[in-house]
Structure 1
Amino acid sequence: MEAVAKLNNCPTSPRKMRLVVDLIRGERVEKALHILKFTNKEVAIRVEKLLLSAIKNWENKNEGARPEESELYVKTATVDGGRQLKRLRPAPQGRGYRIRKRSNHVTLVVDSKNQETQN
């Protein structure tokens, strides 16, 4: 049975977040946590918290099951664009340059590989 965790309006551009999320897509949960721990990006901390939340959600759905025994893996991981804060920066000759402060939405789905034993 799969479990979902979502992170909405994370104040980082989606492009930067996708670099980290692409590293863990399809990996086993233990390996994904190690990858995130040693990734030298600021957003890796947020994705690590989100992955731990998804693991806890899976444990709540499957009471009595342990993630180590059931080969839990990251089934899907998506990053979508969130809201944009639009600001103006002063520019030469009285003009203004637009700054778009981007945010994103991340969705992680974890699932176990041996579903035959659960049914």
Structure 2
Amino acid sequence: MEAVAKLSNNPTSTRKMRLLADLIRGLDVEKALNILKFHPKHPSVPLEKLLVSAIANWKVKNEGARVEDANLHVKTIFVDGGRILKRMRPAPQGRGYRIRKRSNHVTIVVDSRVVAEEKVAK
């Protein structure tokens, strides 16, 4: 059974977050957590917290199961654009340059590989 976790209005551009999302897509949960923990890019911290939240959601859904036995993996992860805060920065000769502060929404789906393989076998 799969579990979902969502992060809304994270103040990072979608392009920067997608670089990390592409790294962990399809990986086992333990390996993905290790990659995010030691990755130098700053969006890795909220993405790591979101992955831990998805694992906790999976534990709540599957009360009797253990994470180690279930062989959890990141089934899907996608990053969508969020709201854009528009600000003005002073520029020469009385003009103003527009600054767009971007944000994003991230969704992670975690699933067990054992369950998926059993469905194929049946």
Into which bin does the TM-score normalised by the smaller protein fall?
A: over 0.9
Count of paired positions: 118
Deviation of the 1:93 alpha carbon: 1.3
TM-score under structure 1 normalisation?
0.96
Q: Which has the higher helix share?
A: 2
**For residues 33-79 of structure 1, what are the alpha-carbon distances to aligned partners after superposition, in whole Å with 9 as ceiling and x for unaligned?**
01011101111010000000000000100111011111100000000
Aligned runs of 1:67-82 on 2, under 5 Å?
A: 67-82=67-82
**For residues 9-54 of structure 1, what are the alpha-carbon distances to aligned partners after superposition, in whole Å with 9 as ceiling and x for unaligned?**
0011111111111110000000000101110111101000000000
TM-score under structure 2 normalisation?
0.93
Amino acid at match of 2:109: V
Q: C-alpha root-mean-square deviation of aligned residues, in Å?
A: 1.3
Moved over 4 A (4+): none
Identical counterparts, % of pairs? 70
- Is the counterpart of residue 95 in structure 1 residue 101 in structure 2? no
Instruction: Show structure 1 runs of 5+ residues with no match.
Output: none
